[in-house]
Amino acid sequence: MTLIKSISGIRGTIGGRTGDTLNPLDIVKFTTAYATFIRRSGHSASNKIVVGRDARISGDMVRNVVCGTLMGMGYDVLDIGLATTPTTELAVRMSAADGGIIITASHNPRQWNALKLLNNEGEFLTKADGNEVLEIAAKEDFEYAEVDHMGHYTQDNSFNERHIQSVLGLKLVDLEAIRNAHFKVVADTINSVGGIILPALFKALGVEYTMLNGEPNGQFAHNPEPLEKNLGGIMSRVAEGGYDLGIVVDPDVDRLAFIQEDGKMYGEEYTLVTVADYVLDHTPGCTVSNLSSTRALRDVTEKHGCKYYAAAVGEVNVTTKMKEVGAVIGGEGNGGVIYPESHYGRDALVGIALFLSSLAQKGIKASELRKTFPAYQMAKNRIDLTPDTDVDAILVKVKEMYGHQDDVKVTDIDGVKLDFPNCWVHLRKSNTEPIIRVYSEAATAEEADALGKKLMQVVYDMQK
């Protein structure tokens, strides 16, 4: 059983002993710490906190504990029900709330859940703010509201529609072109909240759709991470013919992957690349992605005569860099599109609308669009950690091994990334799982995997 406490939130498996899992007592503690932080931050103008959740089977239990705790802290709760992560982020802004809690473990399997914490802008907490929440939780110096000052509870299920309307209102969403293209798509929403909001989005866009795993019951039909190895069902369905595109989201709908009309993966890394190319066609400016994302975004950005910047892994790190450099588009190679014209958060709905706009304006098939971008292949490996693993010492040794080589650029703002002339490899400790992620990219999948395995062996040799 696992409980992971990080700046990005509190994530754990359900059940088990307190302190080891995400159970009611720990949910109360961290929700209280968050509410205490919001109160101390001075952003309590409305005395309201938004709560939204994905369709995980533990969602009702966690939601009830969270809402009751917030009310006990004197906060009014705006419960928006089953809602995507980006919907909840937008709801914080739209309702002028002091913050928000998203109950979702994103791509993790069904036994997991998590509390994702938002500030009054509907954005994830900064590293400093997240650490403050963890410090408050560790001290457990809590003070709850007296009976006459407890918060009130309100439900509002209108935010899915408000989210869709905000997407339709974006200048670069070409509604006319999309409707005239008469797209036919099949979507896999992995038995979560995408099954509620995507059909409504498709109807608004004039897109004919078929749903796979569309019932939001939390009984995930397959591993929920939108990777090729988990998507055989939708790939086979598209390969049978009759569809222009397959669309895949994760349980909280902030990651987005596409299947080409021939049933092959478009490439999760190329979701952001394609949307960025479309945005840069219309609004030139700089771009940002994290260190573990494909080099193709840099190439496409420079093709447009613009500047690319890299950030540490983690949505808040990417958005912070985007604000710093004034990026017009950014995100993460895991299918996360962040478009500031909408909001500073990964949003699969925005990604779908912009991708379809590009496809419709160009009048070509998805497979043809994919061929217009630089061809890279990525390998994603992992090293499982033991309690005795000194990750920081390992990464320092890797940096020392390669730092003196003239043909290698070493970046250490997040783990260690080694940029070679025609490939790269990035090693970093995961924020959400007890592993070291080893991402590598080269011209072919075999070369990328070989590079990753080479660095993995270096790490294994260090532990002997």
Structure tokens at 118: 């938002």
Asked whether the beta carbons of 59 and 105 are under 8 A apart, the reply is no
| Cα dist from 402 to 286, 405, 417, whole Å | 30, 6, 10
Whether 58 is a known active-site residue: answer no
- Which residue is catalytic, options 95, 106, 192, 342? 106
Cα–Cα distance measured from residue 265 to residue 263, given in angstroms and rounded to the nearest whole number: 7
Helix (H) or strand (E) holding 306: none
| Cα dist from 425 to 152, 266, 454, whole Å | 50, 22, 10
Question: Counting runs of H as helices and runs of E as strands, what totals does the chain give?
Answer: 15, 20
461: left (phi over 0), alpha (psi -120 to 50) or beta: alpha
Asked whether the beta carbons of 44 and 123 are under 8 A apart, the reply is no
Helix, strand, coil abundance in the chain, percent, nearest 5 = 40, 25, 40
DSSP 136: H
Catalytic positions are 106
